Amino acid sequence: MRFVDTNIFLRYLVPGDPAKAQACYALFKRIEAGEEIVTTSEAVIAEVTYVLRSRAHYGLAQTEISDLLRPLLTLNGLRILEKELYSRALDLYGSHSFLDFEDALGIAHVERENLSDIISYDTGFDRIPRITRTEP
């Protein structure tokens, strides 16, 4: 098993360098077919969303990013803990333009643990139903 870093996801999703894009495409086809087993981390998924959203890089809409990443999470050869958690975070991220991915991931953690409170100074959480934001 190998670990897939942020730049591999990015070269696959938004190709720039044709040779690297083709190599990443071939890798993800092997992963999709289950011919290669890989893993990645929560930090990588968060960084991919950040770079894709960044106006300095790609400036994609959150709904586009969610739609691009969701199918990758279902690939047969991608082994990451808590795929459902990432999927829920992408749903939240894609449907609430005021959330960054890290906050969406935090909400997904809160929901998974069946909690209702989040301790934060970020008032954006006040706009999420079933979440009560408190301050320390």
**Among 85, 48, 44, 82, which residue's Cα sits nearest to residue 65?**
48
Name the residue ranges covered by the structural domains of the chain. Answer: 2-101
**Tell me, what's the pLDDT at 117?**
93
Residue 48 pLDDT > 80? yes
Task: Output DSSP code: residue 128.
Answer: S
Residue 10 CA neighbour count, 13 Å, CB half: 19
Token output for 135? 């301050």
**φ/ψ of residue 76, rounded to 5:** -55, -40
- 104 contacts 69 by C-beta, under 8 angstroms: no
Would you state the pLDDT for residue 50? 94
Over residues 82-134, the pLDDT tens digits come to 889 999 999 999 999 999 999 999 999 999 999 989 999 999 999 998 999 99
List, for residues 35-47, the tens digit of each pLDDT value: 999 999 999 999 9
With H, G, I as helix, E, B as strand and everything else as coil, classify residue 119.
strand
3-state secondary structure of 124: helix
